[in-house]
Protein backbone atom coordinates (compact mmCIF):
# COMPACT_ATOMS: atom_id res chain seq x y z
CA UNK A 1 0.00 0.00 0.00
CA UNK A 2 1.23 3.45 -0.79
CA UNK A 3 1.78 5.54 2.33
CA UNK A 4 1.47 9.35 2.43
CA UNK A 5 -1.18 11.36 0.67
CA UNK A 6 -0.90 9.56 -2.65
CA UNK A 7 0.67 12.23 -4.82
CA UNK A 8 4.20 13.15 -5.79
CA UNK A 9 6.19 15.52 -3.62
CA UNK A 10 7.52 18.39 -5.73
CA UNK A 11 8.89 21.91 -5.42
CA UNK A 12 5.51 23.28 -4.34
CA UNK A 13 4.68 20.74 -1.65
CA UNK A 14 3.72 22.32 1.70
CA UNK A 15 4.74 20.65 4.94
CA UNK A 16 2.81 20.34 8.19
CA UNK A 17 3.66 18.14 11.14
CA UNK A 18 3.27 17.24 14.76
CA UNK A 19 5.77 17.94 17.53
CA UNK A 20 5.90 15.73 20.61
CA UNK A 21 7.88 13.23 22.58
CA UNK A 22 7.23 10.36 22.12
CA UNK A 23 5.60 10.75 18.71
CA UNK A 24 5.83 7.33 17.03
CA UNK A 25 2.24 6.34 17.84
CA UNK A 26 0.54 9.50 16.58
CA UNK A 27 -2.36 9.02 14.19
CA UNK A 28 -2.33 12.68 13.09
CA UNK A 29 -0.32 11.92 9.91
CA UNK A 30 -3.04 9.46 8.89
CA UNK A 31 -5.79 12.07 9.43
CA UNK A 32 -4.02 14.90 7.59
CA UNK A 33 -2.56 12.91 4.71
CA UNK A 34 -6.00 11.34 4.17
CA UNK A 35 -7.51 14.84 4.00
CA UNK A 36 -4.77 16.08 1.65
CA UNK A 37 -5.40 13.09 -0.60
CA UNK A 38 -9.16 13.63 -0.59
CA UNK A 39 -8.86 17.32 -1.46
CA UNK A 40 -5.93 16.88 -3.87
CA UNK A 41 -3.85 19.33 -1.80
CA UNK A 42 -0.12 19.36 -2.37
CA UNK A 43 0.67 18.89 1.33
CA UNK A 44 2.49 16.34 3.45
CA UNK A 45 2.19 15.88 7.19
CA UNK A 46 5.01 14.29 9.17
CA UNK A 47 5.90 13.49 12.80
CA UNK A 48 8.71 15.46 14.48
CA UNK A 49 10.20 14.02 17.66
CA UNK A 50 11.49 16.94 19.74
CA UNK A 51 13.80 16.07 22.61
CA UNK A 52 13.57 17.68 26.03
CA UNK A 53 14.97 21.22 25.83
CA UNK A 54 14.55 21.46 22.06
CA UNK A 55 11.15 23.10 21.77
CA UNK A 56 12.19 26.72 21.17
CA UNK A 57 14.67 25.71 18.46
CA UNK A 58 12.02 23.46 16.90
CA UNK A 59 9.45 26.28 16.65
CA UNK A 60 11.96 28.77 15.28
CA UNK A 61 13.31 26.17 12.88
CA UNK A 62 9.82 25.25 11.69
CA UNK A 63 9.10 28.89 10.94
CA UNK A 64 12.41 29.33 9.15
CA UNK A 65 11.69 26.21 7.10
CA UNK A 66 8.33 27.66 6.00
CA UNK A 67 6.34 24.90 7.71
CA UNK A 68 2.69 25.78 7.12
CA UNK A 69 1.26 24.50 10.39
CA UNK A 70 2.05 22.27 13.32
CA UNK A 71 0.27 20.23 15.89
CA UNK A 72 1.74 20.02 19.34
CA UNK A 73 1.22 17.10 21.65
CA UNK A 74 2.47 15.72 24.97
CA UNK A 75 4.51 17.07 26.73
CA UNK A 76 4.64 20.48 24.99
CA UNK A 77 1.06 21.82 24.85
CA UNK A 78 1.66 24.28 27.70
CA UNK A 79 5.30 25.14 27.22
CA UNK A 80 4.84 25.99 23.53
CA UNK A 81 2.77 29.10 24.35
CA UNK A 82 5.80 31.16 25.25
CA UNK A 83 7.24 30.68 21.76
CA UNK A 84 4.14 31.92 19.90
CA UNK A 85 3.35 35.39 18.58
CA UNK A 86 -0.36 35.11 19.41
CA UNK A 87 -2.93 32.71 20.86
CA UNK A 88 -6.65 32.20 20.44
CA UNK A 89 -8.53 33.40 23.60
CA UNK A 90 -9.81 29.95 24.71
CA UNK A 91 -6.40 28.31 24.18
CA UNK A 92 -4.73 31.14 26.13
CA UNK A 93 -7.25 30.79 28.94
CA UNK A 94 -6.75 27.02 29.17
CA UNK A 95 -3.00 27.41 28.82
CA UNK A 96 -2.83 24.56 26.29
CA UNK A 97 -2.21 24.80 22.57
CA UNK A 98 -2.25 21.86 20.16
CA UNK A 99 -2.31 23.69 16.82
CA UNK A 100 0.04 26.33 15.41
CA UNK A 101 -0.97 28.43 12.45
CA UNK A 102 1.65 30.35 10.53
CA UNK A 103 1.06 34.10 10.85
CA UNK A 104 3.25 37.15 10.28
CA UNK A 105 6.55 36.64 12.11
CA UNK A 106 5.69 33.39 13.92
CA UNK A 107 2.86 31.05 14.84
CA UNK A 108 -0.54 31.65 16.41
CA UNK A 109 -1.78 28.96 18.83
CA UNK A 110 -5.19 27.31 18.96
CA UNK A 111 -6.73 24.50 20.97
CA UNK A 112 -8.52 22.27 18.50
CA UNK A 113 -8.77 19.49 21.11
CA UNK A 114 -11.54 21.58 22.62
CA UNK A 115 -13.04 23.00 19.41
CA UNK A 116 -12.87 19.41 18.11
CA UNK A 117 -14.73 18.06 21.13
CA UNK A 118 -17.40 20.72 20.67
CA UNK A 119 -17.75 19.89 16.96
CA UNK A 120 -17.76 16.13 17.59
CA UNK A 121 -20.50 16.54 20.18
CA UNK A 122 -22.48 18.84 17.96
CA UNK A 123 -22.25 16.27 15.12
CA UNK A 124 -24.10 13.89 17.49
CA UNK A 125 -26.66 16.56 18.40
CA UNK A 126 -25.13 17.22 21.83
CA UNK A 127 -24.85 20.76 23.16
CA UNK A 128 -23.39 21.89 26.49
CA UNK A 129 -25.44 25.06 26.67
CA UNK A 130 -27.78 25.10 29.67
CA UNK A 131 -26.73 21.53 30.60
CA UNK A 132 -25.86 20.24 34.04
CA UNK A 133 -22.65 18.34 33.35
CA UNK A 134 -20.78 15.69 35.31
CA UNK A 135 -17.09 15.73 34.53
CA UNK A 136 -15.20 12.64 35.65
CA UNK A 137 -11.56 13.52 36.33
CA UNK A 138 -9.57 16.63 37.18
CA UNK A 139 -6.30 16.03 35.29
CA UNK A 140 -5.01 17.90 32.25
CA UNK A 141 -7.69 16.68 29.85
CA UNK A 142 -10.55 17.23 32.31
CA UNK A 143 -9.35 20.74 33.14
CA UNK A 144 -9.51 21.74 29.46
CA UNK A 145 -12.99 20.19 29.16
CA UNK A 146 -14.12 22.14 32.24
CA UNK A 147 -13.10 25.39 30.49
CA UNK A 148 -15.00 24.36 27.38
CA UNK A 149 -18.14 23.53 29.42
CA UNK A 150 -18.06 26.93 31.11
CA UNK A 151 -17.33 28.72 27.85
CA UNK A 152 -20.22 26.89 26.19
CA UNK A 153 -22.55 28.19 28.90
CA UNK A 154 -23.16 24.97 30.81
CA UNK A 155 -25.45 25.66 33.76
CA UNK A 156 -23.39 23.57 36.19
CA UNK A 157 -20.24 21.44 35.98
CA UNK A 158 -19.77 18.91 38.77
CA UNK A 159 -16.12 17.87 38.77
CA UNK A 160 -15.77 14.41 40.30
CA UNK A 161 -12.29 13.15 41.08
CA UNK A 162 -10.55 10.51 43.20
CA UNK A 163 -8.30 13.24 44.62
CA UNK A 164 -10.63 15.95 45.90
CA UNK A 165 -7.92 18.64 46.07
CA UNK A 166 -7.47 18.52 42.29
CA UNK A 167 -11.23 18.81 41.69
CA UNK A 168 -11.35 21.74 44.11
CA UNK A 169 -8.46 23.49 42.38
CA UNK A 170 -9.96 23.10 38.89
CA UNK A 171 -13.40 24.20 40.11
CA UNK A 172 -12.02 27.30 41.80
CA UNK A 173 -10.02 28.18 38.70
CA UNK A 174 -13.06 27.86 36.41
CA UNK A 175 -15.32 29.88 38.71
CA UNK A 176 -12.70 32.60 38.91
CA UNK A 177 -12.05 32.63 35.16
CA UNK A 178 -15.74 32.87 34.23
CA UNK A 179 -16.88 35.02 37.18
CA UNK A 180 -19.74 32.71 38.16
CA UNK A 181 -20.25 29.71 40.45
CA UNK A 182 -20.52 27.32 37.51
CA UNK A 183 -18.40 24.49 38.92
CA UNK A 184 -18.58 22.32 42.03
CA UNK A 185 -16.02 19.72 43.17
CA UNK A 186 -16.99 16.29 44.52
CA UNK A 187 -15.21 13.10 45.45
CA UNK A 188 -15.92 10.27 42.99
CA UNK A 189 -17.06 8.12 45.92
CA UNK A 190 -19.63 10.83 46.83
CA UNK A 191 -21.46 10.59 43.51
CA UNK A 192 -24.71 9.74 45.32
CA UNK A 193 -24.73 13.34 46.58
CA UNK A 194 -25.38 14.61 43.04
CA UNK A 195 -28.85 16.19 42.84
CA UNK A 196 -31.38 13.73 41.47
CA UNK A 197 -31.74 14.71 37.81
CA UNK A 198 -30.30 13.64 34.44
CA UNK A 199 -26.93 14.80 33.24
CA UNK A 200 -24.52 14.90 30.35
CA UNK A 201 -21.51 12.98 31.75
CA UNK A 202 -18.02 13.38 30.26
CA UNK A 203 -15.46 10.71 31.17
CA UNK A 204 -12.05 12.44 31.19
CA UNK A 205 -9.93 10.11 33.34
CA UNK A 206 -7.48 7.58 31.96
CA UNK A 207 -9.40 4.71 33.59
CA UNK A 208 -10.68 2.10 31.12
CA UNK A 209 -7.96 2.70 28.55
CA UNK A 210 -6.74 -0.39 26.71
CA UNK A 211 -5.56 -2.89 28.00
CA UNK A 212 -7.63 -2.13 31.14
CA UNK A 213 -10.90 -2.37 29.21
CA UNK A 214 -12.97 -3.56 32.16
CA UNK A 215 -12.05 -0.70 34.49
CA UNK A 216 -14.30 2.25 35.18
CA UNK A 217 -14.25 5.03 37.79
CA UNK A 218 -17.83 4.43 39.00
CA UNK A 219 -19.50 0.99 38.94
CA UNK A 220 -22.74 1.86 40.73
CA UNK A 221 -25.82 1.43 38.49
CA UNK A 222 -27.64 4.15 40.42
CA UNK A 223 -25.12 6.66 39.11
CA UNK A 224 -25.76 5.70 35.47
CA UNK A 225 -29.52 6.18 35.88
CA UNK A 226 -28.71 9.89 36.23
CA UNK A 227 -26.89 10.00 32.88
CA UNK A 228 -28.86 10.81 29.70
CA UNK A 229 -25.69 11.04 27.58
CA UNK A 230 -22.24 9.67 28.31
CA UNK A 231 -19.19 10.90 26.43
CA UNK A 232 -15.93 9.07 26.99
CA UNK A 233 -12.75 10.78 25.77
CA UNK A 234 -11.21 7.31 25.41
CA UNK A 235 -11.55 5.59 22.00
CA UNK A 236 -9.46 2.48 22.64
CA UNK A 237 -11.35 0.24 23.32
CA UNK A 238 -14.04 1.48 20.95
CA UNK A 239 -16.75 0.63 23.49
CA UNK A 240 -15.50 1.38 26.99
CA UNK A 241 -17.00 -0.04 30.16
CA UNK A 242 -18.24 3.47 30.98
CA UNK A 243 -20.13 3.56 27.68
CA UNK A 244 -21.60 0.11 28.28
CA UNK A 245 -22.84 1.09 31.73
CA UNK A 246 -24.42 4.28 30.35
CA UNK A 247 -26.22 2.28 27.65
CA UNK A 248 -27.35 -0.41 30.09
CA UNK A 249 -29.03 2.32 32.15
CA UNK A 250 -30.84 3.64 29.04
CA UNK A 251 -28.56 6.53 28.06
CA UNK A 252 -26.74 7.31 24.81
CA UNK A 253 -22.97 6.83 24.79
CA UNK A 254 -20.11 7.97 22.56
CA UNK A 255 -16.35 7.48 22.52
CA UNK A 256 -13.57 10.01 21.85
CA UNK A 257 -12.67 9.01 18.29
CA UNK A 258 -14.77 11.76 16.68
CA UNK A 259 -13.12 14.29 18.99
CA UNK A 260 -9.74 13.09 17.78
CA UNK A 261 -10.83 13.30 14.14
CA UNK A 262 -12.35 16.76 14.58
CA UNK A 263 -9.30 18.17 16.38
CA UNK A 264 -7.43 17.22 13.19
CA UNK A 265 -10.14 18.56 10.90
CA UNK A 266 -10.26 21.90 12.72
CA UNK A 267 -6.47 22.20 12.40
CA UNK A 268 -6.60 21.25 8.72
CA UNK A 269 -9.22 23.94 8.10
CA UNK A 270 -7.07 26.53 9.87
CA UNK A 271 -4.09 25.70 7.63
CA UNK A 272 -5.90 25.32 4.32
CA UNK A 273 -8.63 27.40 2.82
CA UNK A 274 -11.22 24.63 2.96
CA UNK A 275 -14.43 23.75 4.76
CA UNK A 276 -14.68 20.08 5.65
CA UNK A 277 -18.16 18.62 5.42
CA UNK A 278 -19.74 15.93 7.57
CA UNK A 279 -19.30 13.52 4.64
CA UNK A 280 -15.56 14.28 4.48
CA UNK A 281 -15.34 13.85 8.27
CA UNK A 282 -17.15 10.49 8.05
CA UNK A 283 -14.74 9.40 5.34
CA UNK A 284 -11.73 10.21 7.56
CA UNK A 285 -13.45 8.53 10.49
CA UNK A 286 -13.83 5.30 8.49
CA UNK A 287 -10.21 5.37 7.27
CA UNK A 288 -8.86 5.93 10.79
CA UNK A 289 -11.12 3.29 12.29
CA UNK A 290 -10.00 0.74 9.73
CA UNK A 291 -6.29 1.57 10.01
CA UNK A 292 -6.45 1.42 13.80
CA UNK A 293 -8.31 -1.88 13.75
CA UNK A 294 -11.21 -0.43 15.74
P1 LIG B 1 -4.67 13.50 31.38
O2 LIG B 1 -3.68 14.47 30.81
O3 LIG B 1 -5.01 12.36 30.46
O4 LIG B 1 -5.87 14.18 31.91
P5 LIG B 1 -3.70 13.26 34.07
O6 LIG B 1 -3.51 14.74 34.13
O7 LIG B 1 -2.64 12.37 34.64
O8 LIG B 1 -3.90 12.76 32.59
O9 LIG B 1 -5.09 12.92 34.77
C10 LIG B 1 -5.55 11.61 34.96
C11 LIG B 1 -6.95 11.64 35.58
O12 LIG B 1 -7.38 10.27 35.72
C13 LIG B 1 -7.01 12.25 36.97
O14 LIG B 1 -8.28 12.81 37.18
C15 LIG B 1 -6.81 11.02 37.84
O16 LIG B 1 -7.31 11.13 39.16
P17 LIG B 1 -6.38 11.71 40.36
O18 LIG B 1 -6.36 13.18 40.16
O19 LIG B 1 -7.06 11.28 41.60
O20 LIG B 1 -5.04 11.05 40.19
C21 LIG B 1 -7.64 10.02 37.10
N22 LIG B 1 -7.28 8.63 37.44
C23 LIG B 1 -6.20 7.94 37.02
N24 LIG B 1 -6.20 6.70 37.54
C25 LIG B 1 -7.31 6.61 38.33
C26 LIG B 1 -7.89 5.58 39.12
N27 LIG B 1 -7.33 4.37 39.21
N28 LIG B 1 -9.05 5.84 39.77
C29 LIG B 1 -9.64 7.06 39.66
N30 LIG B 1 -9.15 8.07 38.93
C31 LIG B 1 -8.00 7.86 38.27
Domain ranges of the chain: 14-110+258-292, 115-255
Q: What is the pLDDT of residue 219?
A: 98
pLDDT-based confidence at residue 5 (cuts at 50, 70, 90): low
Structure confidence by residue, pLDDT tens digits, 211-261:
999 999 999 999 999 999 999 999 999 999 999 999 999 999 999 999 999
Q: Whose CA is nearest to atom 10 of ligand 1?
A: 139
Sequence-distant (6+) residues with CB within 8 A of 184 are 156, 157, 158, 159, 171
Ligand 1 centre and the CA of 103: distance in Å?
36
Q: Is the pLDDT of residue 4 over 60?
A: no
Q: What is the pLDDT of residue 273?
A: 87
Ligand 1 centre and the CA of 175: distance in Å?
21
Atom of ligand 1 nearest to the CA of 166: 18
Q: What is the pLDDT of residue 8?
A: 86
Ligand 1 touching residue 140 (CB < 6 A): yes
User: In whole angstroms, how far apart are CA 36 and each of 21, 104, 117, 268?
Assistant: 25, 24, 22, 9
Which of these is catalytic: 77, 118, 226, 244? 77
Q: Is the pLDDT of residue 2 over 60?
A: no
Ligand 1 centre and the CA of 76: distance in Å?
19
Q: Which CATH architecture has domain 115-255?
A: 3-Layer(aba) Sandwich (3.40)
Q: Is 118 a catalytic residue?
A: no
Atom of ligand 1 nearest to the CA of 206: 12
- Count other Cβ atoms within 10 Å, centred on residue 139: 14
Ligand 1 touching residue 207 (CB < 6 A): yes
Structure confidence by residue, pLDDT tens digits, 122-141:
999 999 999 999 999 999 99
Q: Whose CA is nearest to atom 30 of ligand 1?
A: 162
3-state secondary structure the chain: CCCCCCCCCCCCCEEEEEEECCCCCCCHHHHHHHHHHHHCCCEEEEEEECCCCCHHHHHHHHHHCCCCEEEECCCCCCHHHHHCCEECHHHHHHCCCCEEEEECCEEEEECHHHHHHHHHHHHCCCCCCCCEEEEECCCHHHHHHHHHHHHCCCCEEEEEECCHHHHHHHHHHHHHHHCCCCEEEEEHHHHHHCCCCCEEEEECCCCCCCCCCCCCCCCCHHHHCCEEEEEECCCCCCCCHHHHHHHHCCCEEECCHHHHHHHHHHHHHHHCCCCCCHHHHHHHHHHHHHHCCC
Ligand 1 centre and the CA of 138: distance in Å?
7
Residue of 75, 98, 117, 139 best suited for mutating to test ligand 1, as the one with most atoms within 8 Å of CB: 139
- Of 5-14, 26-35, 274-283, the range with the lowest mean pLDDT is 5-14
Residue of 114, 137, 170, 202 best suited for mutating to test ligand 1, as the one with most atoms within 8 Å of CB: 137
Q: What is the pLDDT of residue 1?
A: 37
Q: What is the distance between the alpha carbons of residues 58 and 56, in angstroms, rounded to a whole number?
A: 5
Asked if the domains 14-110+258-292 and 115-255 are classified in one and the same CATH topology, the answer is: yes
Atom of ligand 1 nearest to the CA of 162: 19
Domain 14-110+258-292 has CATH 3.40.1260.10: no
Q: What is the pLDDT of residue 6?
A: 58
Amino acid sequence: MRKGNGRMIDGQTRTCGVIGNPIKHTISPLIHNTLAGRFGHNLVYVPFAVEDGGLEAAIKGAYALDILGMNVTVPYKGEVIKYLTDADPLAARIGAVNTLVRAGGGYKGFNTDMSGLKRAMSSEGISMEGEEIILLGAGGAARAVAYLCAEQKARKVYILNRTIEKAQAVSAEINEAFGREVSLPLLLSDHAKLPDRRYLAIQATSVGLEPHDEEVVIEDEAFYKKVHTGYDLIYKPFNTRFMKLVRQAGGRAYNGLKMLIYQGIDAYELWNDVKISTDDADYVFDVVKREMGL
